[in-house]
Amino acid sequence: MQDKFYDTNTGGRIPTGLPGGFFIYEAEGDEKILFAETNVVRMYGCETFEEFMEYVGGSFRGMVHPDELHKVENQIQAQTILGEKRHDYVRYRIVPKNGEIRYVEDFGHLLHWLDGKSFYYVFIVDVDKNEYFNRNRNSFAEAEILSRNLETDSLTGLFNMSFFYHKVQMTFSSPEGRRQEFAIIHFDISNFKLFNERYGFKTGDELLCDMAKVIRLVFKNGTVARFSDDHFFVCIKGNRESVLPMVEEVHRCMLLSEDVNKKVRTKAGIYFVDDRYAEVGLACNHARLACNSIKNRHDISWCIYDDLLREKLRRQQYVVDHIDEAVENGYIQVFYQPVVRVRTGDICGYEALVRWIDPNIGMLSPADFVETLEAVPSDTSYRHLCYQKGLRGYQGA
């Protein structure tokens, strides 16, 4: 195919009333429609190409039901631009001018010109009419969609975890990507399990779809995925000044939902990628750890993974890994501070102060280990030790 356009004043005839038709649109930018034959025009309830273009806004995006557009674009992109093949198969709804929703099958192929411009040429079939004229269901096409749509989340239409990893790692590894600033953000919903128990799983799924829509709209230039449950991830180009307002906007939108039953608080962990050769799994884990670090905080909605948090998490893990050794070897010491009655000057009691004196990393204050151990329900060894030492010290005072 030569790199030029030509008018469609060709010979031959196409029967009207076919349950499908052919169209072409640009793969980049606004996905501008270049051609649509008469049967496609009439599937949308239009009589002329000009009327059709006006109705759909001249773009492929206007041909797809708005609730399914993001999912469909993700599926097409995953199967062609980011996949191993140049063809795609998707299903979606359309809304003709009469308002009657129809379902179509879309068989597309991606074409690249030498100058870098790309197009999709597509054949769509009205599923209802196709099944009416052909009573044998198209089981092959249905099997294809089940086998290929492994890149997106079936509930929200966002990318799933594996494809998010694939796409973002490709971005990180590209020469252009290594010159850009990126942020990985992990979102989740505070007490989502309690929300499901209170309102039911159906409403919980609706909430997840609402949150997916909000994140997608706010981070419209980013790569958005749902990994599982209420765990959403975003990869976007930007620095602290550009990313934080978007994170706060997601929190604000969810908190100010028009549905009073869906007003929820979100938590976000943010990792600004500081490695030119970053590994996406590790970057996502940093964002997740930052998010988890504020689970029980009601005064903040986001946290940035930085050196301070990294050191805090490292110490917390050290505490969990070495508590038994510390108890057995007497590293945890209890010191007693007298409590003096101001009026008389007499000692009226003692306050027990716990310190962990570790031979490897030095002294750990209660702030470094008490909160961490209190969060481990099964660990009672240090509580036992402190109680016994405190009681013995008090009796001997």
- Does residue 394 register a pLDDT over 50? no
SS3 261: helix
Distance of alpha carbon 122 from alpha carbon 107, whole angstroms: 6
**DSSP secondary structure, 64-117, as one string:** S-TTTHHHHHHHHHHHTTSSS-SEEEEEEEE--TT---EEEEEEEEEEE-TTS-
Domain over 20-148 is classified CATH 3.30.1330.40: no
Q: What are the tens digits of pLDDT across the range 123-152?
A: 998 886 555 445 445 544 554 554 445 678
Give me the torsion for CA of 146, 149, 151, 152, rounded to 10°. -100
Distance of alpha carbon 234 from alpha carbon 255, whole angstroms: 19
Per-residue pLDDT at 20: 85
Tokens standing for residue 366: 């209660």
Token pair 């499901």 in the structure block, residue: 196
Q: What are the tens digits of pLDDT across the range 194-241?
A: 999 999 988 999 999 899 999 999 998 899 999 989 999 999 999 999
Distance of alpha carbon 18 from alpha carbon 37, whole angstroms: 11
Mean pLDDT of 34-43: 91
SS3 270: strand
Distance of alpha carbon 46 from alpha carbon 191, whole angstroms: 49
Distance of alpha carbon 128 from alpha carbon 126, whole angstroms: 6
Tokens standing for residue 373: 């151990």
Least confidently predicted of 204-208, 305-309, 374-378? 374-378
- 339 or 61: which carries more pLDDT confidence? 61
Q: What's the CATH class of domain 161-305?
A: alpha beta
CB atoms within 10 A of CB 285: 16
Distance of alpha carbon 249 from alpha carbon 261, whole angstroms: 19
382 and 371 Cβ atoms separated by less than 8 Å: no
Distance of alpha carbon 336 from alpha carbon 21, whole angstroms: 85
SS3 11: coil
Q: Where exactly are the structural domains of the chain?
A: 20-148, 161-305, 311-396
- Does residue 267 register a pLDDT over 80? yes
Is the C-alpha dihedral spanning 235, 241, 242, 247 positive or negative? positive
In total, the chain counts a number of residues equal to 397
Token pair 């996905």 in the structure block, residue: 31
- 129 or 91: which carries more pLDDT confidence? 91
SS3 164: helix
